[in-house]
Amino acid sequence: MRYTLSILIILATITSTLSAQQIKISGKIIDAVESTPIGFATVSLLKQDSTFIKGVNSNDDGRFSIPEVTKENLLLSVSFLGYETQIIDLTKPEKDITVSDIALHPTSIALNDITVTASPIIHKIDRDVILPSTAQLKASISGISLLQNLMLPRVIIDQVNNVIKTSDGSEIQLRINGVIVSYSEILALMPQDIIRVEFHDNPGLRYGDVAAVLDFITRRKSSGGSLNAEVMNNPFVGFGNNSFNAKVNHKKSEFSFNTNEWNRELDFTRNSEQSFIFPDKEIHRSRIGGTIPFKTIGINNNLNYSLQESGKYFFNVSLRQFYRDTPNGFDDEKSTYISGNSEPVDVYIHSAYKTNAPLLDLYYQRDLKNQQLIIVNVIGKYTYSKNEYTFQESRNDVFYTDINNLTKSDRYALVAEGIYEKTFGTGSKLSTGLKQTQTYTESTYSGSTEAQVDMNQAETYLYAEYQLKKGKFNTSLGVGATRMYYSSQGNKTEKYLFRPMLRMTYTINEGTYIKYNGIVYNRVPSEGDLNNVEQEIDSLQLRRGNPYLKPSITFQNTLWGGYKKGMFDFNLWMRYRYIDANIANDIFFEDGKFINQSNNQKAYHSMMGELRIQVQPIKDHLTLSFTPGVARYISKGNTYLHTHTRYYYNSDVTANYKKWIFNAFLSNSFHYFEGETLYLNEAWQNVSLGYKTDRFSVSAGVINPFTKEWKSASQTFSAIVPSSSQVTSSDISKMPYIKLSYNINFGRQYKSAEKKIDNSDI
């Protein structure tokens, strides 16, 4: 007993001594030029022989804290991409140390070699902060190619349609320094200007009901500028993406211009089956399609000026223009069918549309004392659109159905938004905002129907959200209130909706986390659905608007988590969505015609789950990922019940060696079911190999190299007008392309500026 007691006393003494020898080191990291905080910098604690002990990242305000540090001679290493590494000698500290502001100086070469010892991904309650490695930046030629190299879970880059979307097909909002931008503006980013990428996979109330947000945080030059151009074209068919970008900085001012042009001229073939079940008979048509062209051209222009005094104010004005002309639409068709014992019937369907949309965006941000911030943003936009539709049926070159519809609309929109944020010393944050959207649309219908429809819409959105951090647990509780009003042709609708939201994140350790998001939001009927106009589709069908539509309400729960160990990274994601009174198309028979009209249905359920498995056998040089998933849909209409289950997968490979870059993406067809229609989206593959220098890059690739024939299809399960349609093309199968880029970067001094507001493209 005496020996046992002695051993316990010795152990307690050793434990007490070791505990007493542990201290805490904290501090703040700032930009040496601008005196602004540097968030997410890498802070490493080293022994005198440079052996790594532990590491952390600074928070949004540049602050860091390293607990449980032993009393010995140490080195504190602070680094961040684009800045010179700072080494501080800590000679056997005896008590807790608060290091005064650690000032990092911008490097003359942006892509310097920095060893990141802490995790390159920081999981926060509302987003993941991704710090690109030096190898990833060197292997990238634009913001889009950097995104390819980052291989973020659930992010798919569609270079055919120039969109970035989630694996379920939802388009991701894109931003630069917090402000919404277009795909072409991300394409214009130079990798060495990108500090980090913030992936808002758990967006808060200020972002509305978007599926996800990608925000590219960039550094801002105080002098010099850049020029760069990129062309991506197919040498055999009409397929091209071409951009030119210029930026000049002078003291507090920055001027920039970028333009992006894309064109498509491809041949498609459409085959379809359709049945019309009358009260007393049934007609079935099997249309065998011929080759028909699809042509479109689009241009995005953006002229921007900003004025900034870091830590005080930021003013930005952008003038944007979006133009698109599609003389031959994707729904065009040239086919033949046989009705009974009659002669074959020739069908010709032609659609064309044109859009011109200039936009003026004014933004002002003011930093106040005690970590307070106010933001005011005003956006004005005008949109002109023109849509043409022709349906013809002929027998022996004699027309017996000839429908020509023309729709023109002028839309004026004004958005005004104000935001207030307050950050507390504990890391908690209060955010509140008010957003007013006002639109007026004047539409003219001619052809089979002559009508003019004016529509007024207004939406007022007020929200407040509070984030609380306690140890490894982060939670955010918010509530939003929306007033919606729209009137058309004497019909008025006013509705009030509440939008509660709960977000939670629990970080188990550096490589393991769990997140949850529960939110309620609404879907407003489109302007096209709300009018009371009838237009002929073909000889048997009409499309009719519904001014009595009501907004639907969506209840959504998302749960996901990640685990990273060594070269392996696992990410499991699950979502359940329930829509009450969902808006979907109905087909019913009336006065000898089949009427297509949007109505509020009973309910809609969708359940999705996927597991992303990523492995990095050669760090910074070879990464592979595979994502299997399953989707389940239940559509409850007023007169129907449909269910559908689909298994899908996505796979990525990215590799680089010296100046060579290889990328590959493969996926099977993703199915989406809504109302009574099943959409079978195309399978997608893209393989490319490139060579990159500091200024010049060239790559060659193939779109859909493993597909004999590109396919896209849809199927409608209506009880009275069941139909199916399939579009095929050999032009998008095994389609080669060549991509060239060249950039000139002049000027060496950088300063950072982040715009925090966002407004969707109204």
CATH of region 143-481+503-751, choose from 2.40.170.20, 3.40.190.10, 1.10.3720.10, 2.60.120.560: 2.40.170.20
- Taking a C-beta distance cutoff of 8 angstroms, is the pair 189, 174 a contact? no
- For residues 332-361, give the mean pLDDT: 90
Give 83 or 15, the one with higher predicted confidence: 83
pLDDT > 90? residue 385: yes
Look at the alpha carbons of 284, 330, 180, 322 in this order and tell me if their dihedral is positive or negative.
negative
Q: For the chain, what are the domain ranges?
A: 23-108, 143-481+503-751
* Cα 346 from Cα 337, distance rounded (Å): 7
Distance of CA 254 to the CA centre of its chain: 26
Backbone angles phi, psi at 13, to 5 degrees: -65, -45
* Cα 530 from Cα 323, distance rounded (Å): 25
User: With 0-12 CB in 10 A as exposed, 13-18 as middle and 19+ as buried, what is 4?
Assistant: exposed
The DSSP output letter for 717 is -
Question: Residues 6 or more apart from 697 whose CB is under 8 A from it?
Answer: 141, 690, 691, 739, 740, 741, 742
Q: Strands 593-600 and 541-544, how do they pair?
A: parallel
Tokens at residue 410, please? 């002028």
User: With 0-12 CB in 10 A as exposed, 13-18 as middle and 19+ as buried, what is 123?
Assistant: buried
pLDDT > 50? residue 761: no
Give 50 or 514, the one with higher predicted confidence: 514
Residue 705 has a pLDDT of 92
How would residue 9 be classed by pLDDT, with cut points 50, 70 and 90?
Answer: low
* Cα 274 from Cα 339, distance rounded (Å): 12
- Rounded to a whole number, what is the distance in angstroms from the first to the last CA of the chain? 80
Reported pTM: 0.80
Residue 35 has a pLDDT of 62
Give 290 or 193, the one with higher predicted confidence: 290
- The DSSP-derived string for 66-116 is EEEEESS-EEEEEE-TTB--EEEEE-S--S-EEEEEEEEPBPSSTT-----
Q: What is the pLDDT of residues 669-718, one digit of tens each?
A: 888 899 999 999 888 899 999 998 888 899 999 999 998 889 999 999 99
Q: What is the pLDDT of residues 596-647, one digit of tens each?
A: 999 999 999 999 999 999 999 988 789 999 999 999 999 999 999 999 999 9
What average pLDDT does the structure give for the chain? Answer: 85
The DSSP output letter for 191 is G
Residue 5 has a pLDDT of 52
Residue 647 has a pLDDT of 94
Residue 112 has a pLDDT of 36
Residue 752 has a pLDDT of 45
pLDDT > 90? residue 294: yes
Superfamily (CATH H level) for 23-108: Immunoglobulins (2.60.40.10)
494 sits in which H/E element: strand 491-509
